Amino acid sequence: MRILSRMNKERYGAALMILIGAAATLQGGDYRIGSLRHMGAGFMPVVYGGLLTAVGVLLAFTAKRGPDAAGHVPEWRGWLCIVAGVFAFALLGAHGGLVPATFVAVFVSALGDRQNTLRDAALLALLMVAAGVLIFRFGLHIQLPLFTWS
């Protein structure tokens, strides 16, 4: 228990990044990795898992020593808005299409920042919808339905 009292949130974050990165790397190794020219199914999990592990190690070495300041209160509004945005995207992506799913997900997630107004969140959501349509529909020619009401 003594080691937990000496750790701060930066070290907890670093440990979590290392754990997730190592798990992704190990899991991706079960698939064919391939090469840069002919990537297999395990290529991206191994690369991103390795990068996440490396960033976690760097964060662990650069983290401040000692516990956090006493009285630190978690920012529940931000956490809840971001989680709600992810769930909204999953739900609306399957039943509403790319445009409503992106708009609602970004709008709800942006409300997690107390400095954002409703106008700011809506403007950010509109810009992200435009970027998503331009990139996925016209740039990459991915056949994501823009609007689907099912």
Question: Does a structural domain hold residue 56?
Answer: yes
Q: For the chain, what is the mean pLDDT?
A: 85
Is the CB of residue 112 less than 8 Å from the CB of residue 88? no
Q: Detail the DSSP E strand segments found in 16-138.
A: none
Which of 24 and 147 is assigned the larger pLDDT? 24
DSSP 8-state code for residue 65 = S
Q: What counts of helices (H) and strands (E) characterise the chain?
A: 6, 0
Residue 85 confidence class, pLDDT cut points 50, 70, 90: very high
- Of 20, 37, 62, at which residue does a domain stop? 62
Which of 91 and 4 is assigned the larger pLDDT? 91
Same domain, 82 and 47: no
pLDDT for residue 30: 86
Q: What is the residue range of 48's domain?
A: 2-62
Q: What is the DSSP string of 50-70?
A: HHHHHHHHHHHHHSPSSPPPT
- Of 62, 86, 101, at which residue does a domain stop? 62
Would you say residue 23 has pLDDT above 70?
A: yes
DSSP 8-state code for residue 113 = S
Q: What percent of the chain has pLDDT above 90? A: 39
Same domain, 56 and 10: yes
The domain tally of the chain equals 2
Two structure tokens written together for 79: 């956490």
Query: What does the pLDDT average to over 92-120?
Result: 90
Residue type, 17: M
Query: What does the pLDDT average to over 69-75?
Result: 63
